[in-house]
């Protein structure tokens, strides 16, 4: 939009979102599934998560949040990993509507809810 100067943004609410099922896993892996991209299983360790976070991949932001979580928190007894299965997305990707932020919030909330972080 020509009237929006660099560094400014239009702030608006939306009803769009990302919907997922999440489960605790006993094995130390992060399993990621979505109807829009290939399923990934990543070892839940700093090296593997950071490598994916730095890649240009659909799951990079997810791996970045998991990497920070692994650095700062310990999983509860019996939980070593997490499965995230995206069921539906109504928030367009790569359209400037913060879909990357939405997936980061989804992953952080999943860890918080299933690992009782705070």
Mean pLDDT of the chain: 86
pLDDT per residue as tens digits for the range 9-24: 777 777 878 899 999 8
Residue 51 pLDDT more than 80? yes
- pLDDT computed for residue 1 by the predictor: 64
The whole-angstrom separation of Cα 9 and Cα 38 is 33
The whole-angstrom separation of Cα 61 and Cα 104 is 6
Task: Give the H or E element holding residue 45.
Answer: none
Beta bridge partners of 88: 19
Share of the chain above pLDDT 70, in %: 94
Beta bridge partners of 41: 31
Question: What φ, ψ does residue 106 adopt, rounded to 5°?
Answer: -60, -50
pLDDT per residue as tens digits for the range 81-112: 899 999 998 877 766 657 788 889 999 999 99
DSSP H helical ranges for the chain:
46-54, 60-72, 99-115
Does pTM top 0.75 for this prediction? yes
- pLDDT computed for residue 97 by the predictor: 59
The whole-angstrom separation of Cα 40 and Cα 57 is 11
- pLDDT computed for residue 96 by the predictor: 61
* Sequence-distant (≥ 6) Cβ neighbours of residue 75 within 8 angstroms: 81, 115
Is the separation of the CB atoms in 75 and 30 below 8 Å? Answer: no
């Amino acid at each position: 939009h020509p009237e929006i100067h660099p560094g400014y943004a239009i702030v608006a609410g939306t009803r769009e979102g990302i919907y997922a099922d999440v489960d605790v896993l006993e094995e130390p892996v992060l399993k990621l599934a979505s109807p829009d991209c290939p399923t990934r299983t990543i070892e839940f360790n700093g090296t593997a998560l950071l490598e994916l976070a730095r890649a240009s991949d659909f799951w990079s932001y997810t791996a970045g949040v998991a990497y920070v979580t692994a650095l700062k928190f310990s999983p509860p007894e019996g939980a070593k990993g997490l499965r995230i299965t995206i069921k539906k997305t109504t928030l367009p990707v790569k359209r400037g509507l913060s879909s990357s932020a939405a997936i980061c919030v989804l992953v952080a909330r999943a860890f918080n809810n299933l690992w009782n972080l705070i």
